[in-house]
Amino acid sequence: MNICILYYIENTSLKYLNWHDGFTKSIELLSNKYNIDMINVYDNTNINFDKYNLIFFKESFNGKIYNKYKNNLKKKSLGLFISSSNIIPTDNVLKIYDILFYETHWYYNYAKLHRHKNSIHAFGIDTDIMKKIDIQKEYDVIFVGNICNYKRPLKLLSIPGKKICLGFQSDKAIVKILKDNNVEIKDFVTYQELSSYYNKSKLAYIPCEIHGGGERAVLEARSCNIEVKIENDNNKLKELINSQIYSSKYYAEQIEKGIIFHILNNINNYTYENILSNLKYINLNVLEIGGMDGKTFDPLYNNLSNKWNVTILEPIYFQFKKLENNYKNRKNVFLINKALNYHNKKEYMYTINEKSLINNNVPLWANGISSFYNNRNSLGEEYWKTRGIVHQKNNLNYNSIRPHINKIEVECITISEINLENIHILQSDTEGFDYNVIKIVLSKYKPFIIFFEWNNLPNDELDKLKILLSDYKTIYYKQDALSILKNT
């Protein structure tokens, strides 16, 4: 996927060649997965928009960059990194953008962004640089930000001690007053130097007005483990005083979430195969539990993208060998001959004897009925008295299956031992263990897509599963179900 991000920084700004913060770090992280061009429209005006799938703006709503290029952007997918907090966009302005990224939940509520179906919280700092350093304290108070009226830097004078201001000297009159009161002024420092200055200070004072920025400074100071003081009239910064310290990794993950939600929002026909097809150009992590041979009855096999990192678990050894053969030429597929469980101890599973399958003593579908259970699926007698009656037309009954059932011991693995950074798609077919699979995965991850078999679940587990999937829109088919994460 090709993405461009348009921004505007003049060459007279010290930031022109030295822009590094949590945003730029998050884009660096995403550039390992996507083709991203950061374009400064100050000196790059001739842009070939045809080469991009997504075009993002880093500016205010309906800003100058968008208006400069809007005639070239028809039928393009557009996104906005909202760079101001004082605008409540109209409904028509909201319609311009397919994806919105906002920095605080305060602004989400203030700007009524619930009106947009794909508004994502995305914010963070580079915590690899902004961190506690064992260094001698030199300043009692540090102020970071543009030295101008809406930042209220003169409030710094009410706090005793040695003080320093780091920021662009926009208002010369304010700068003079600060200097006359022995406040040290620094115009611009690198991100690494900024971290050092935070660590050399005892207190970060961010007295901004509600629409005066200061969001990054609050998180940066907190990440450097120094005290932060704001004004009581700024509820936006109060949120960040009490929030988690959002990292660039979180920032990047949230940007990616917005991209995936955008794709999902534009799918007309919600079938699992159709979703897989639409996501084939996105770098995703896919986890399949109960892979069998990886091909028979498996919708993933014919929709697998080389962009994905795929992990497939299959505990039955003879099925696993077929799985290995079917995926031997796919370097992006990692196979594990174990069952997902709450623990890593050995467990017994019920399965159909390999020779019986080879000799066609049972129907083809019997390849796929291995399970921890023999009382809730076609491995159990009760099934044949109820749902399994449909097989009578093919002269099949419990006695057709029972002689071929084996009880074997298998290895188990926990979700932590699989150790994936994240899971975007979960596919589960475990003949009645699917509630447990989903519960285990959701304890650590939140996939965008979950495709699972529900028809072998008892009613109590099905009820619990529906609660577990409350953040998902779930479509139930005859025996499978498709759950799609809601943008909440």
163-166 β-sheet, strand order: 184-186, 163-166, 139-144, 201-206, 227-230
pLDDT value at position 187? 86
Q: Look up the CATH superfamily of 269-348+410-485.
A: Vaccinia Virus protein VP39 (3.40.50.150)
CB 148 within 8 Å of CB 173: no
Q: Which two tokens stand for residue 271?
A: 């079938």
| Two tokens, residue 257 | 């979430």
Report the alpha-carbon distance of residue 327 to residue 161 in Å, rounded.
Answer: 67
Q: What is the model's pLDDT at position 139?
A: 98
| Amino acid code (one letter) for 214 | G
Answer yes or no: are the C-beta atoms of 295 and 301 closer than 8 Å.
Answer: yes
Is residue 312 within 8 A of residue 340, CB to CB? The reply is: no
Main-chain phi, psi angles of 158, to 5 degrees: -80, -10
Contact 47, 4 (CB under 8 A): yes
Say what the pLDDT of residue 18 is.
85
Cβ atoms within 10 Å, residue 277: 14
H helices present in 224-301, as ranges: 235-242, 248-265, 272-278
Stretch(es) of the chain classified as CATH 3.40.50.11930: 2-121
- Gap between the Cα atoms of 400 and 260, Å rounded: 46
Q: Which residue has the tokens 């005793």?
A: 160
pLDDT given at position 268: 87
CATH architecture of 139-242: 3-Layer(aba) Sandwich (3.40)
Whole-number pLDDT of residue 212? 94
pLDDT at position 45: 83
| Mean pLDDT (10-residue bins), the chain, 488 residues | 94 84 96 94 91 96 96 93 95 97 97 96 98 97 95 96 94 96 92 97 97 96 98 97 97 96 92 95 95 93 95 96 95 97 97 92 89 93 90 88 94 96 96 97 97 96 97 95 92
Q: Cα dist. 408→318, 337, 371, 372 in Å?
A: 12, 14, 10, 10
**Residue 90 CB coordination number (10 Å):** 11
pLDDT at 252: 97
* CATH 3.40.50.2000 domain extents, the chain: 139-242
Encode burial over 117-155: b for 16+ CB neighbours within 10 A, e otherwise: ebbbbbbbbbbebbbeeeeeeebebbbbbbbbebbbbbe
Q: What end-to-end distance do the CA atoms of the chain give, in Å?
A: 25
Residue 206: per-residue pLDDT: 97
CATH class of 2-121: alpha beta
Any idea what DSSP says for residue 305? Answer: -
Token pair of 424 as six digits: 């975007």
Count of beta carbons in the 10 Å neighbourhood of residue 74: 7
Q: Dig out the tokens for 369 from the structure.
A: 């009925």
- Tokens representing 470 are 């409350």
